[in-house]
Amino acid sequence: MKHFISIDLGGTNVRVAKMDEEGNILAVLKSSSYAKEGREKMISNMKELIQQIPGYEECAGIGIGAPGACDQEKGCLLIDTNVPGLKDYPIVKDFEDTFHMPVRIENDADVAGLGEAIYGIGKEYPSVFYITISTGIGGAFILNKKVVSGRKGFGAEIANLVIDPSREKINYLAKGAVENEASGTAIIRKANQKLNRTVAHAGEVFQLAREGNPIAQEIIDGAIHDIAQMLASISAVIAPHIFILGGGFMKSSDYFMEDLRKYYAELVHEELKDTPIVQASLDEPGLMGAIELVKNL
C-alpha cells in the first residue's frame, strides 16, 4: 500500500502527517506555522517536520492544503493573507526539488471538502458543497469526487458572496460580504459594538444567547439568517446534493442548525428545500483530503 505526506497549513498551526491510501493517519506532527516570522521560517519548519516522519523518503507524494486561492499551473498561492510571504512563491517546485516526489497544493477548504466528500458524510453524494465557518468563511465544491476550483483557484471562494449590499463597508471585501456578516470575526465585532462588555471569541456570544441575552440572540439569529441566504444563493447557481458545514462555528451547532434549515427552506426554490444541511463528520478532513491531490499521480 502506498503512503503519502499530507500537510495542513494554517495561519496559526501546521500539521504534517504520513497517511496510507485509505486515509488512515500513520503518524502526525503539529507545530506553530510561524506565519508571522516570514516565508523562510514557514518553509523550513514544514520541511523539518516532514523529515521527522518515519519513512518519509518512501512516500509517493506530498499534498498541501493552504489558506488562500491556489494556482495549480504555477504551484503557488495567489493570496497569502494568513501566511504572509507565500504569495506567488513556487512552493510546489521547492518541495519537489527537496523531496524528489510529486507535490500538489490546494486551498485548505477545498482539501477539507474533498476529505468529507470521499471519506466522510458526503461520500454517498455526487456533488458536495463544503463550507468552513470560523474566523472567516471558506467553501469548496466537489463534483464526482473532484474539486472544482475554477479560474485561478477562486471557485467556491464564498467569503465575498454578497448577502445584503446595503450593509456597511468593513474591509477589502464587498459591502455585505457574508464573511463580514456571519463569520466568527463578524460576530465578535457586532457583539463588541452592541453589548456592554468585551468578548474575545464567538463562543462567548453563543453562551450569552443560550442564557437569554436578547442582544446576543439577535446577533446570532442575524448571522444564521445570513448564512441561510448564502446557502440559498449557492443553491440557485449550483444546487449541490448536500451542504456540509465545518469549522469552529459548528461547536455551537446544536443552538442554530434547526433555525438554519428553516431559514434556508424559506429562501430557496421549492424543489430544493429538502437539500441536506449537515455537520462535518471527520476529525481531520484537511489531512485526509490533501492526499487525494497526489494519490493518483
Range of the structural domain that residue 103 is part of: 3-111+284-293
Residues 133 and 245 in one domain: yes
Write the CATH number for 16: 3.30.420.40
Residues 145 and 258 in one domain: yes
- What's the CA dihedral at 237, 243, 249, 252 to 10 degrees? 130
Residues 134 and 259 in one domain: yes
- What's the CA dihedral at 175, 275, 235, 151 to 10 degrees? 100
Within-domain flag for 118 = no
Residues 127 and 240 in one domain: yes
Within-domain flag for 117 = no
Half-sphere exposure at residue 117, Cβ-oriented, CA atoms within 13 angstroms: 30
Within-domain flag for 163 = yes
The pairing of beta strand 13-20 with beta strand 3-9:
antiparallel
Within-domain flag for 69 = yes
Number of other CB atoms surrounding residue 225 within 10 Å: 21
Residues 59 and 92 in one domain: yes
Within-domain flag for 116 = no
- DSSP code string of 197-224: S--SSHHHHHHHHHTT-HHHHHHHHHHH
Instruction: State which H helix or E strand residue 22 sits in.
Output: none
Distance of CA 273 to the CA centre of its chain: 25
- DSSP code string of 88-142: T--HHHHHHHHH-S-EEEEEHHHHHHHHHHHTSTTTT-SEEEEEEESSSEEEEEE
Residues 91 and 167 in one domain: no
Residues 132 and 104 in one domain: no
Can you tell me the distance from the alpha carbon of 108 to that of 102, in angstroms, rounded to the nearest whole number?
18
Give the phi and the psi of residue 153 in degrees, each rounded to 5.
80, 10
Give the phi and the psi of residue 242 in degrees, each rounded to 5.
-155, 145
Residues 136 and 258 in one domain: yes
The total domain count for the chain is 2
Residue 170's Cβ-count burial label (10 Å; 0-12, 13-18, 19+) is: middle
Residues 275 and 288 in one domain: no
Residues 210 and 161 in one domain: yes
Within-domain flag for 239 = yes
pLDDT tens digits for the chain (297 residues)? Answer: 899 999 999 888 999 999 999 999 999 999 999 998 999 999 999 999 999 999 999 999 999 999 888 998 899 999 887 899 999 999 999 999 999 999 999 999 999 999 999 999 999 999 999 999 988 899 999 999 999 988 888 889 899 999 999 999 999 899 999 999 999 999 999 999 999 889 999 999 999 999 999 999 999 999 999 999 999 999 999 999 999 999 989 999 999 999 999 999 999 999 999 999 999 999 999 999 999 999 988
Residues 53 and 163 in one domain: no
Within-domain flag for 199 = yes
Within-domain flag for 44 = yes
Residues 243 and 128 in one domain: yes
| Residue-wise pLDDT tens digits, 149-181 | 888 888 898 999 999 999 999 998 999 999 999
